[in-house]
Structure 1
Amino acid sequence: MRTIVDSQYFPCIAYFSLLKSKDEIWIETQEYFEKQTYRNRCYILDANRTLPLAVPVKGGNKKIKMADIQIEYTHRWLNDHWRAFTSAYNKSPFFEYYEGYIHDILFKKQTRLLDLNMEILSFCLKALHIDTKINLTETYESTSKSQFEDMRSLIHPKKDYLWSQIHEPVPYQQLFGQEFAANLSVLDLLSNTGPESDNYL
Protein backbone atom coordinates (compact mmCIF):
# COMPACT_ATOMS: atom_id res chain seq x y z
CA MET A 1 0.00 0.00 0.00
CA ARG A 2 1.31 3.45 -0.91
CA THR A 3 2.04 5.91 1.90
CA ILE A 4 1.50 9.61 1.22
CA VAL A 5 2.92 12.38 3.43
CA ASP A 6 3.08 16.14 3.20
CA SER A 7 6.24 18.07 2.35
CA GLN A 8 7.95 19.67 5.36
CA TYR A 9 10.56 22.35 6.05
CA PHE A 10 13.48 20.89 8.06
CA PRO A 11 11.10 18.11 9.12
CA CYS A 12 10.61 16.96 12.68
CA ILE A 13 12.01 13.72 14.08
CA ALA A 14 8.68 11.83 13.85
CA TYR A 15 8.64 12.51 10.11
CA PHE A 16 11.99 10.76 9.61
CA SER A 17 10.99 7.96 11.94
CA LEU A 18 8.07 7.35 9.58
CA LEU A 19 10.24 7.55 6.47
CA LYS A 20 12.79 5.15 7.91
CA SER A 21 10.05 2.57 8.46
CA LYS A 22 9.02 2.59 4.77
CA ASP A 23 10.71 1.27 1.64
CA GLU A 24 8.95 3.83 -0.52
CA ILE A 25 6.93 6.97 0.11
CA TRP A 26 5.03 9.61 -1.84
CA ILE A 27 5.29 13.33 -1.10
CA GLU A 28 2.02 15.18 -1.71
CA THR A 29 2.49 18.03 -4.19
CA GLN A 30 -1.09 18.59 -5.41
CA GLU A 31 -2.84 19.47 -2.15
CA TYR A 32 -3.64 23.08 -1.29
CA PHE A 33 -1.01 24.69 0.92
CA GLU A 34 -2.05 24.57 4.58
CA LYS A 35 -0.97 27.23 7.07
CA GLN A 36 0.20 26.59 10.64
CA THR A 37 1.79 23.25 9.69
CA TYR A 38 5.28 21.84 9.23
CA ARG A 39 4.98 22.51 5.48
CA ASN A 40 6.71 25.85 5.92
CA ARG A 41 7.87 25.81 9.53
CA CYS A 42 10.14 23.99 11.92
CA TYR A 43 10.89 24.09 15.64
CA ILE A 44 14.34 24.31 17.18
CA LEU A 45 15.62 24.69 20.74
CA ASP A 46 17.53 27.82 21.66
CA ALA A 47 18.77 29.05 25.02
CA ASN A 48 15.39 30.46 26.02
CA ARG A 49 12.67 28.28 24.55
CA THR A 50 11.41 26.11 21.73
CA LEU A 51 11.56 28.48 18.79
CA PRO A 52 9.23 28.27 15.74
CA LEU A 53 10.69 29.38 12.41
CA ALA A 54 8.36 29.92 9.46
CA VAL A 55 9.12 30.48 5.79
CA PRO A 56 6.86 33.28 4.47
CA VAL A 57 4.97 32.34 1.31
CA LYS A 58 3.03 34.22 -1.34
CA GLY A 59 -0.72 33.74 -1.24
CA GLY A 60 -0.77 31.48 1.78
CA ASN A 61 -4.43 32.41 2.40
CA LYS A 62 -5.49 31.41 -1.11
CA LYS A 63 -6.09 27.97 -2.56
CA ILE A 64 -2.68 27.37 -4.12
CA LYS A 65 -1.28 23.90 -4.68
CA MET A 66 1.83 22.93 -2.75
CA ALA A 67 3.61 22.46 -6.08
CA ASP A 68 2.93 26.10 -6.96
CA ILE A 69 3.33 27.94 -3.64
CA GLN A 70 6.19 30.44 -3.85
CA ILE A 71 8.53 31.73 -1.17
CA GLU A 72 8.35 35.41 -0.19
CA TYR A 73 11.79 37.00 -0.03
CA THR A 74 10.84 40.61 0.75
CA HIS A 75 11.21 39.70 4.44
CA ARG A 76 14.68 39.00 5.85
CA TRP A 77 13.65 35.55 7.01
CA LEU A 78 16.72 33.83 5.50
CA ASN A 79 19.10 35.78 7.70
CA ASP A 80 16.79 35.35 10.69
CA HIS A 81 16.62 31.57 10.23
CA TRP A 82 20.35 31.23 9.70
CA ARG A 83 21.09 33.35 12.76
CA ALA A 84 18.67 31.24 14.80
CA PHE A 85 20.23 27.96 13.61
CA THR A 86 23.77 29.06 14.40
CA SER A 87 22.80 30.61 17.73
CA ALA A 88 21.00 27.44 18.80
CA TYR A 89 23.51 24.86 17.56
CA ASN A 90 26.91 26.47 17.08
CA LYS A 91 28.15 24.98 20.36
CA SER A 92 26.58 21.56 19.80
CA PRO A 93 28.94 18.64 19.10
CA PHE A 94 28.11 18.08 15.43
CA PHE A 95 26.52 21.18 13.87
CA GLU A 96 29.82 22.19 12.24
CA TYR A 97 29.73 19.06 10.08
CA TYR A 98 26.38 20.04 8.55
CA GLU A 99 26.63 23.83 8.69
CA GLY A 100 27.99 24.41 5.19
CA TYR A 101 25.40 22.17 3.52
CA ILE A 102 22.52 23.82 5.37
CA HIS A 103 23.77 27.30 4.52
CA ASP A 104 24.12 26.48 0.83
CA ILE A 105 20.64 24.97 0.64
CA LEU A 106 18.99 27.97 2.28
CA PHE A 107 20.84 30.68 0.40
CA LYS A 108 20.26 29.04 -2.96
CA LYS A 109 16.97 30.98 -2.69
CA GLN A 110 14.61 28.56 -4.37
CA THR A 111 11.48 30.08 -5.88
CA ARG A 112 9.09 27.33 -4.78
CA LEU A 113 8.67 26.06 -1.23
CA LEU A 114 8.44 22.49 -2.53
CA ASP A 115 11.87 22.73 -4.16
CA LEU A 116 13.43 24.07 -0.96
CA ASN A 117 11.78 21.33 1.09
CA MET A 118 12.88 18.61 -1.32
CA GLU A 119 16.48 19.78 -1.25
CA ILE A 120 16.40 19.82 2.55
CA LEU A 121 14.85 16.34 2.56
CA SER A 122 17.51 14.98 0.22
CA PHE A 123 20.29 16.32 2.45
CA CYS A 124 18.70 14.96 5.62
CA LEU A 125 18.10 11.50 4.16
CA LYS A 126 21.80 11.26 3.26
CA ALA A 127 22.89 12.53 6.68
CA LEU A 128 20.62 9.98 8.37
CA HIS A 129 21.57 7.12 6.01
CA ILE A 130 17.93 6.55 5.09
CA ASP A 131 17.49 4.98 1.65
CA THR A 132 13.69 5.15 1.40
CA LYS A 133 12.62 5.78 -2.20
CA ILE A 134 10.95 9.19 -2.51
CA ASN A 135 8.26 9.90 -5.14
CA LEU A 136 6.22 13.02 -5.88
CA THR A 137 2.48 12.75 -6.46
CA GLU A 138 1.19 13.95 -9.82
CA THR A 139 -2.51 14.02 -8.96
CA TYR A 140 -4.36 14.64 -5.72
CA GLU A 141 -5.46 11.46 -3.98
CA SER A 142 -8.87 11.78 -2.33
CA THR A 143 -9.16 10.54 1.24
CA SER A 144 -12.26 8.63 0.15
CA LYS A 145 -10.02 6.15 -1.64
CA SER A 146 -8.64 3.28 0.42
CA GLN A 147 -5.70 2.08 -1.66
CA PHE A 148 -3.13 4.21 0.15
CA GLU A 149 -2.03 5.06 3.67
CA ASP A 150 -2.85 8.74 4.18
CA MET A 151 -0.33 10.33 6.55
CA ARG A 152 -0.86 13.88 5.31
CA SER A 153 -1.07 16.38 8.20
CA LEU A 154 -0.90 13.63 10.83
CA ILE A 155 2.56 14.82 11.82
CA HIS A 156 1.40 18.26 12.84
CA PRO A 157 2.66 20.80 15.41
CA LYS A 158 -0.81 20.91 17.02
CA LYS A 159 -1.49 17.16 16.98
CA ASP A 160 0.95 15.60 19.45
CA TYR A 161 -1.49 12.79 20.14
CA LEU A 162 -1.20 11.70 16.49
CA TRP A 163 2.53 11.89 15.81
CA SER A 164 3.30 10.20 19.13
CA GLN A 165 1.72 7.06 17.64
CA ILE A 166 4.39 7.17 14.91
CA HIS A 167 7.37 8.05 17.05
CA GLU A 168 7.81 7.52 20.78
CA PRO A 169 10.30 10.16 21.93
CA VAL A 170 13.42 8.91 23.69
CA PRO A 171 15.48 11.66 25.36
CA TYR A 172 18.94 12.45 23.99
CA GLN A 173 21.41 15.06 25.21
CA GLN A 174 20.30 18.57 24.19
CA LEU A 175 22.27 21.75 24.57
CA PHE A 176 19.64 23.77 26.43
CA GLY A 177 16.84 23.26 28.89
CA GLN A 178 16.23 21.22 32.02
CA GLU A 179 13.55 19.07 30.38
CA PHE A 180 13.80 17.19 27.11
CA ALA A 181 12.05 18.91 24.18
CA ALA A 182 10.56 16.19 21.99
CA ASN A 183 10.04 16.04 18.23
CA LEU A 184 11.96 19.15 17.24
CA SER A 185 13.39 19.66 13.77
CA VAL A 186 15.79 16.93 12.73
CA LEU A 187 18.46 19.67 12.91
CA ASP A 188 18.33 19.33 16.68
CA LEU A 189 18.93 15.58 16.50
CA LEU A 190 21.73 15.85 13.93
CA SER A 191 23.49 18.68 15.77
CA ASN A 192 23.44 16.88 19.10
CA THR A 193 23.91 13.23 18.15
CA GLY A 194 25.59 13.38 14.71
CA PRO A 195 26.33 9.93 13.25
CA GLU A 196 24.22 8.27 15.97
CA SER A 197 21.07 9.99 14.63
CA ASP A 198 20.09 7.11 12.40
CA ASN A 199 20.41 4.66 15.29
CA TYR A 200 18.19 6.93 17.38
CA LEU A 201 15.47 6.76 14.73
Structure 2
Amino acid sequence: MKTIIDSQYFPCVAYFSFLKSKEEVWIETQEHFVKQTYRNRCYILGSNQVLPLAIPMIGGNKKIKISDIKIEYKHRWLNDHWRAIISAYNKSPYFEFYEPYIHDILFAKHERLIDLNTEILSFCLKVLNIGTKINFTEQYESNTEGQLEDMRSMIHPKKDYICSKIFDPIPYPQLFGKEFAANLSVLDLLSNTGPESDNYL
Protein backbone atom coordinates (compact mmCIF):
# COMPACT_ATOMS: atom_id res chain seq x y z
CA MET A 1 0.00 0.00 0.00
CA LYS A 2 1.30 3.47 -0.91
CA THR A 3 2.05 5.65 2.12
CA ILE A 4 1.68 9.43 1.84
CA ILE A 5 2.73 11.85 4.58
CA ASP A 6 2.98 15.63 4.80
CA SER A 7 6.16 17.68 4.63
CA GLN A 8 7.16 19.06 8.04
CA TYR A 9 9.53 21.63 9.56
CA PHE A 10 12.07 19.96 11.90
CA PRO A 11 9.56 17.12 12.40
CA CYS A 12 8.70 15.63 15.75
CA VAL A 13 10.01 12.29 17.01
CA ALA A 14 6.79 10.48 16.05
CA TYR A 15 7.33 11.49 12.42
CA PHE A 16 10.75 9.84 12.25
CA SER A 17 9.59 6.85 14.24
CA PHE A 18 6.93 6.32 11.59
CA LEU A 19 9.34 6.83 8.68
CA LYS A 20 11.78 4.35 10.20
CA SER A 21 9.05 1.70 10.14
CA LYS A 22 8.54 2.09 6.37
CA GLU A 23 10.64 1.01 3.41
CA GLU A 24 9.19 3.73 1.17
CA VAL A 25 6.99 6.80 1.58
CA TRP A 26 5.70 9.64 -0.58
CA ILE A 27 5.96 13.23 0.65
CA GLU A 28 2.84 15.21 -0.27
CA THR A 29 3.69 18.20 -2.46
CA GLN A 30 0.35 18.87 -4.17
CA GLU A 31 -1.99 19.49 -1.25
CA HIS A 32 -3.04 22.99 -0.23
CA PHE A 33 -1.00 24.45 2.62
CA VAL A 34 -2.67 23.74 5.98
CA LYS A 35 -2.23 26.26 8.82
CA GLN A 36 -1.38 25.42 12.45
CA THR A 37 0.24 22.10 11.61
CA TYR A 38 3.79 20.77 11.69
CA ARG A 39 4.18 21.80 8.04
CA ASN A 40 5.64 25.14 9.09
CA ARG A 41 6.16 24.76 12.82
CA CYS A 42 7.98 22.68 15.41
CA TYR A 43 8.24 22.53 19.19
CA ILE A 44 11.42 22.68 21.26
CA LEU A 45 12.06 22.56 25.01
CA GLY A 46 13.14 25.88 26.50
CA SER A 47 14.23 26.55 30.07
CA ASN A 48 10.71 27.38 31.21
CA GLN A 49 8.35 25.69 28.78
CA VAL A 50 7.82 23.99 25.45
CA LEU A 51 8.27 26.63 22.75
CA PRO A 52 6.56 26.70 19.34
CA LEU A 53 8.64 27.91 16.39
CA ALA A 54 6.44 28.88 13.45
CA ILE A 55 7.49 30.11 10.01
CA PRO A 56 5.31 32.90 8.54
CA MET A 57 4.08 32.11 5.05
CA ILE A 58 3.16 34.33 2.12
CA GLY A 59 -0.52 33.78 1.39
CA GLY A 60 -0.96 31.27 4.18
CA ASN A 61 -4.69 32.02 4.27
CA LYS A 62 -5.13 31.26 0.58
CA LYS A 63 -5.40 27.94 -1.20
CA ILE A 64 -1.78 27.57 -2.31
CA LYS A 65 -0.14 24.24 -2.98
CA ILE A 66 2.58 23.20 -0.57
CA SER A 67 4.95 22.98 -3.54
CA ASP A 68 4.32 26.65 -4.33
CA ILE A 69 3.89 28.40 -1.00
CA LYS A 70 6.72 30.78 -0.15
CA ILE A 71 8.36 31.78 3.11
CA GLU A 72 7.92 35.33 4.43
CA TYR A 73 11.29 36.84 5.35
CA LYS A 74 10.16 40.39 6.12
CA HIS A 75 9.66 39.33 9.71
CA ARG A 76 12.71 38.42 11.80
CA TRP A 77 11.53 34.87 12.46
CA LEU A 78 14.79 33.33 11.24
CA ASN A 79 16.92 35.10 13.83
CA ASP A 80 14.26 34.45 16.46
CA HIS A 81 14.24 30.73 15.69
CA TRP A 82 18.00 30.51 15.77
CA ARG A 83 18.27 32.35 19.10
CA ALA A 84 15.61 30.09 20.59
CA ILE A 85 17.39 26.96 19.34
CA ILE A 86 20.74 28.16 20.68
CA SER A 87 19.20 29.08 24.04
CA ALA A 88 17.49 25.70 24.33
CA TYR A 89 20.30 23.41 23.20
CA ASN A 90 23.66 25.18 23.37
CA LYS A 91 24.49 23.36 26.63
CA SER A 92 23.17 19.98 25.52
CA PRO A 93 25.70 17.16 25.00
CA TYR A 94 25.55 16.90 21.20
CA PHE A 95 24.19 20.14 19.77
CA GLU A 96 27.65 21.41 18.81
CA PHE A 97 28.05 18.54 16.35
CA TYR A 98 24.88 19.46 14.48
CA GLU A 99 24.90 23.23 14.93
CA PRO A 100 26.81 24.23 11.77
CA TYR A 101 24.64 22.02 9.54
CA ILE A 102 21.40 23.26 11.06
CA HIS A 103 22.59 26.86 10.80
CA ASP A 104 23.52 26.49 7.14
CA ILE A 105 20.19 24.87 6.27
CA LEU A 106 18.19 27.62 7.95
CA PHE A 107 20.23 30.56 6.73
CA ALA A 108 20.24 29.37 3.13
CA LYS A 109 16.91 31.25 3.09
CA HIS A 110 15.01 28.89 0.86
CA GLU A 111 12.29 30.64 -1.10
CA ARG A 112 9.77 27.81 -0.79
CA LEU A 113 8.78 25.94 2.37
CA ILE A 114 8.94 22.57 0.61
CA ASP A 115 12.63 23.13 -0.22
CA LEU A 116 13.53 24.03 3.35
CA ASN A 117 11.61 21.07 4.75
CA THR A 118 13.15 18.69 2.22
CA GLU A 119 16.70 19.73 3.09
CA ILE A 120 15.92 19.35 6.79
CA LEU A 121 14.43 15.91 6.13
CA SER A 122 17.47 14.75 4.13
CA PHE A 123 19.85 15.88 6.87
CA CYS A 124 17.82 14.23 9.64
CA LEU A 125 17.40 10.92 7.81
CA LYS A 126 21.16 10.80 7.33
CA VAL A 127 22.13 11.49 10.95
CA LEU A 128 19.39 9.18 12.24
CA ASN A 129 20.55 6.35 9.96
CA ILE A 130 17.08 5.94 8.46
CA GLY A 131 17.20 4.35 5.01
CA THR A 132 13.56 4.84 4.02
CA LYS A 133 13.17 5.64 0.33
CA ILE A 134 11.62 9.10 -0.06
CA ASN A 135 9.50 10.01 -3.07
CA PHE A 136 7.50 13.14 -3.84
CA THR A 137 3.96 13.18 -5.15
CA GLU A 138 3.34 14.68 -8.59
CA GLN A 139 -0.43 14.95 -8.25
CA TYR A 140 -2.90 15.06 -5.38
CA GLU A 141 -4.36 11.69 -4.52
CA SER A 142 -7.54 11.42 -2.49
CA ASN A 143 -8.11 8.39 -0.33
CA THR A 144 -11.83 7.98 -0.94
CA GLU A 145 -11.52 4.26 -1.61
CA GLY A 146 -9.01 3.51 1.13
CA GLN A 147 -6.27 2.63 -1.34
CA LEU A 148 -3.62 4.69 0.49
CA GLU A 149 -2.05 4.71 3.90
CA ASP A 150 -2.93 8.36 4.32
CA MET A 151 -0.79 9.98 7.02
CA ARG A 152 -1.39 13.56 5.91
CA SER A 153 -2.11 15.66 9.03
CA MET A 154 -2.24 12.53 11.19
CA ILE A 155 0.87 13.60 13.11
CA HIS A 156 -0.47 16.96 14.24
CA PRO A 157 0.14 19.36 17.16
CA LYS A 158 -3.53 19.15 18.15
CA LYS A 159 -3.80 15.38 17.80
CA ASP A 160 -1.53 14.14 20.55
CA TYR A 161 -3.63 11.02 21.09
CA ILE A 162 -2.77 9.75 17.63
CA CYS A 163 0.90 9.46 18.53
CA SER A 164 0.25 6.46 20.76
CA LYS A 165 -0.92 4.61 17.68
CA ILE A 166 2.25 5.47 15.80
CA PHE A 167 4.96 5.09 18.43
CA ASP A 168 5.40 4.63 22.14
CA PRO A 169 7.64 7.45 23.40
CA ILE A 170 10.81 6.32 25.16
CA PRO A 171 12.07 8.92 27.67
CA TYR A 172 15.56 10.26 27.08
CA PRO A 173 17.65 12.81 29.03
CA GLN A 174 16.56 16.43 28.57
CA LEU A 175 18.15 19.61 29.90
CA PHE A 176 15.05 21.22 31.33
CA GLY A 177 12.01 20.19 33.31
CA LYS A 178 11.33 17.53 35.92
CA GLU A 179 8.98 15.58 33.68
CA PHE A 180 9.86 14.20 30.26
CA ALA A 181 8.41 16.24 27.39
CA ALA A 182 7.50 13.71 24.71
CA ASN A 183 7.33 14.11 20.95
CA LEU A 184 9.21 17.36 20.55
CA SER A 185 11.10 18.31 17.42
CA VAL A 186 13.90 16.02 16.31
CA LEU A 187 16.19 18.91 17.31
CA ASP A 188 15.56 17.98 20.94
CA LEU A 189 16.32 14.31 20.41
CA LEU A 190 19.49 14.91 18.39
CA SER A 191 20.84 17.56 20.76
CA ASN A 192 20.39 15.38 23.82
CA THR A 193 21.18 11.88 22.56
CA GLY A 194 23.32 12.40 19.45
CA PRO A 195 24.42 9.16 17.76
CA GLU A 196 22.10 7.18 20.06
CA SER A 197 19.03 9.00 18.73
CA ASP A 198 17.85 6.19 16.48
CA ASN A 199 17.50 3.93 19.54
CA TYR A 200 14.64 6.13 20.80
CA LEU A 201 12.58 6.00 17.61
State whether TM-score is above 0.5.
yes
Describe the SS at the equivalent of 2:194. Answer: helix
Residues 154-196 of structure 1 show CA distances to partners (whole Å, capped at 9, x for unaligned) of 0000001112210111111100001110000000000000000
Q: Secondary structure at the match of 2:110?
A: coil
AA of the residue aligned to 1:151: M
Shift of 1:147: 2.1
In structure 2, the residue matched to 1:53 is 53
Q: Which runs of 5+ in 2 are unaligned?
A: none
| Cα pair 2:169 2:200 within 8 Å, conserved | no
Q: Aligned partners of 1:187 and 1:143: how far apart in 2?
A: 32
Q: In the aligned structure 2, how far is the partner of 1:179 from the partner of 1:154?
A: 25
Tell me, yes or no, if structure 1 residue 164 matches structure 2 residue 164.
Answer: yes
Counterpart-to-counterpart distance in 2, 1:145 and 1:129 = 34
Name the CA distance, whole Å, in 1 between partners of 2:193 and 2:163: 22
**Equivalent position of 1:87 in the other structure:** 87
What SS class does the counterpart of residue 114 from structure 2 fall into?
helix
State the one-letter code of the partner of 1:91.
Answer: K
Report what 1:126 is aligned to.
Answer: 126
Name the SS of the counterpart of 1:184 in structure 2.
Answer: coil
CA shift, 1:69, in A, is: 0.5
Residue 141 of structure 2 is matched in structure 1 by 141
Q: Does 1:62 align with 2:62?
A: yes
Aligned to 2:29: 29
* 1:105 matched to 2:80: no
Measure, in 2, the Cα distance between the counterparts of 1:130 and 1:29.
Answer: 21
Contact 2:67–2:112 under 8 Å retained in 1: yes
Structure 1 SS opposite 2:27: strand
d(CA) in 1 for partners of 2:143 and 2:162?
17
User: Hey, what's the Cα distance between the residues in 2 that align with 1:7 and 1:16?
Assistant: 12
What SS does structure 2 have at the residue aligned with 1:108? coil
Q: CA deviation at 1:58?
A: 0.3
**Alignment-derived partner of residue 18 in structure 2:** 18
2:92 and 2:191 in contact (8 A); partners too? yes
Alpha-carbon distance, 1:41 to partner? 0.1
Structure 1's consecutive aligned runs of 4 or more residues displaced over 6 angstroms after TM superposition are none
Q: Which runs of 5+ in 1 are unaligned?
A: none
Percent same amino acid among aligned pairs? 76
TM-score, with normalisation over the residues of structure 2?
A: 0.99
Deviation readout 1:95-151 (Å, 9 max, x if unpaired): 000000000000000000000000000000001000100000000011203221000
Number of aligned residues: 201
Aligned CA-pair RMSD: 0.6
Structure 1 letter corresponding to 2:27: I
Give the Cα–Cα distance (whole angstroms) in 2 for the partners of residues 142 and 199 of structure 1: 34
Q: Which amino acid aligns with 1:187?
A: L
